[in-house]
């Protein structure tokens, strides 16, 4: 990895993540807890494909989780 801390992604993965992240921020806001969890887990506990899948699920269903037992809304 280079010293400038830029992460290189294969193919269009970064572009797809950026699109889904922008969509999530537009829909839910930049301080939405699930969006923050995904972003802060990226590269730590989630790889690129998992981040992309989580963002897509969030955008399509309103949650990255399969089952939420106690929603505020």
DSSP labels, 29-65? -TT-HHHHHHHHHBTTTB-HHHHHHHHHHHHHHS-SS
Give the C-alpha separation, 23 to 16, whole Å: 11
In a domain, residue 32? The reply is: yes
Q: For 3-16, how does the pLDDT look when each residue is reduced to its tens digit (9 = 90+)?
A: 566 666 555 888 99
In a domain, residue 73? The reply is: no
- pLDDT value, residue 4: 61
In a domain, residue 40? The reply is: yes
Give the C-alpha separation, 6 to 27, whole Å: 27
Question: Residue 53 belongs to what domain range?
Answer: 13-61
Q: Six-digit token pair at 69?
A: 């037992």
Q: For 18-61, how does the pLDDT look when each residue is reduced to its tens digit (9 = 90+)?
A: 999 999 999 999 999 999 999 999 999 999 999 999 999 999 99
In a domain, residue 25? The reply is: yes
Q: Which of 17 and 1 is assigned the larger pLDDT?
A: 17
In a domain, residue 22? The reply is: yes
In a domain, residue 34? The reply is: yes
Please tell me the total count of domains within the chain.
1
- pLDDT value, residue 1: 44
């Amino acid at each position: 990895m280079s010293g400038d801390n830029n992460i290189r992604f294969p193919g269009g993965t970064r572009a797809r993540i950026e699109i889904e992240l922008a969509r999530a921020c537009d829909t839910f806001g930049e301080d939405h807890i699930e969006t923050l969890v995904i972003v802060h887990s990226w590269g730590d506990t989630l790889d690129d494909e998992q981040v992309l899948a989580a963002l897509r699920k969030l955008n399509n269903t309103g949650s990255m989780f399969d089952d939420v037992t106690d929603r505020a809304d």
